[in-house]
Amino acid sequence: MWKVPVTQKPDQCLGEWIDREALAEAMIPLIGQLYRNNNVVSSIYGRSLINRSVISILKAHRFARHRQTDETELSVHETFPLLKAMSELKLGAASVDLGKLANKFKQEGNGRTAEQFVREELADVVGQQNASARKGTDVVLYGFGRIGRLLARILIEKTGGGDGLRLRAIVVRKGAENDLVKRASLLRRDSVHGPFDGTITIDEANNTITANGNLIQVIYAKSPSEVDYTQYGIDNALIVDNTGVWRDADGLGQHLACPGAARVILTAPGKGALKNIVHGINHGDITADDKIISAASCTTNAIVPVLKAINDQYGIVNGHVETVHSFTNDQNLIDNFHKGSRRGRAAPLNMVITETGAATAAAKALPVLKGKLTGNAIRVPTPNVSMAILNLNLEKATTRDEINEYLRQTAMHSELHKQIDYVASQEVVSTDFVGSRHAGVVDAEATIANDNRVVLYVWYDNEFGYSCQVVRVMEDMAGVNPPAFPR
């Protein structure tokens, strides 16, 4: 019988694991102190390290083997010295990717110590602790459904020292006498995304929810005209409309008439002249004069970054986008009347062909695509995670390996690294992408290429991944984005 050669002894493997565990454990307080005291957000190739466990930190290092230029596994022995050096430099607000920093140190260290390298690489924020001009921005979530509650989780997670986005209130219609208890329970427990990571308490006398130290006022109102945010100490607030009731400037403009409100973001495709913003693509179009913008749709956010990357390199002649989308609250649980075609049929039992405006909306964020794409959608009996199939005709011929490698490099090193992720496994399925913070994940094993025709499969968490994109747009609109390193 053929036997696998043993190159390590069991005690050696376990000993190395324990050593890595100890270093990862030592990283946790450093990551936390940098976050809370310096507003420094640490990550590894886009995987946040804030409030993560030892195992999560080690998994982030393991993941990075696909992102290193030499594809070796990133070691905590490489990242810990850099993190330690960062903790001693009184840094100002920054976003630091330890994976990329370690890789750059490996490639360009040139004999410098970790301390010397970090000091030079992060020179712009060294010694800038508490010197930042950043000011916290009040945020109100108007509507508290699937997206609203996930936005709340992300905002609470990112509170840090409190000078970024501050969730101050949610506005809902009162549904029952025990409404506050039910709202808090839905924030605490989620059938798809699991339990809330922290503590939640309620004060029924004052209609507040306190989540990880964030005091959130629950305001009951049937329309924006009933709300005065200044009564709750909220001013110059960013209102995030999650209801989808209003899609144009006139309807959403009702929020701006509320005392204490300053700007509005819609978490759905906007109509009329509203700017539809896909972060990573056209967020630079946001100006100080913009009072109302749209964060587009989950599908638009998933496909546009990949389409831009492909168009930049190969040129898109035309194509078709087919979305395989999880069912949503807009559909019926069982057969019943619905004003939309086919959507009245039971969502958990049927695949339902329906329309999508994503192909048309893509051109709003990326005008070069205008008139080049068609689109359709199939709703399927899963509660979350969707897939976009991009069937494209290109100006340049390519191969499967070439286009996959290009997209892998784009996911690693381009300005779209927060939007595009990449996976190369024959075993992944939809539930593996629940909680993905990227707008979309290219499935390399499914890629088809034949001369100038290519078919790409892009997974996306249509709830959480989209919510992360919305928060990025919010940070841009509020002007609370810190500088990112390495450059």
Nearest to 307 by CA among 253, 375, 238: 375
Question: CA 279, CA 365: separation in Å to the nearest integer?
Answer: 9
Q: What are phi and psi of 485, to 5 degrees?
A: -135, 155
Measured distance between the N- and C-terminal CA atoms of the chain, rounded to whole angstroms: 53
Strand partners, 390: 321, 456
Judged on CB neighbours under 10 Å (0-12, 13-18, 19+), 429 is: exposed
Other beta carbons less than 10 A from residue 475's beta carbon:
19
Distance (Å, rounded) from C-alpha 217 to C-alpha 210?
9
| Alpha helices, H only, 6-45 | 10-38
- The 10 Å Cβ neighbour count of residue 365 is 26
* Separation CA 117–CA 105 (nearest Å): 7
Q: Is 468 a catalytic residue?
A: no
Q: Which of 13, 258, 298, 468 is catalytic?
A: 298
According to DSSP, residue 385 is labeled -
Question: Residue 66 class from Cβ within 10 Å (0-12 exposed, 13-18 middle, 19+ buried)?
Answer: middle
Q: Residue 246 contacts by C-beta under 8 Å, 6 or more apart in sequence?
A: 252, 254, 266
CA distances from 372 to 277, 359, 393, 456 (A): 19, 9, 10, 16
Would you tell me how many other CB atoms lie within 10 Å of the CB of residue 460?
28
Return the closest-CA partner of residue 377 out of 391, 365, 388, 362: 388
**b/e for 411-427, b at 16 or more Cβ within 10 A?**
bbebebbbbbbbbeeee
Residues known to be catalytic:
298
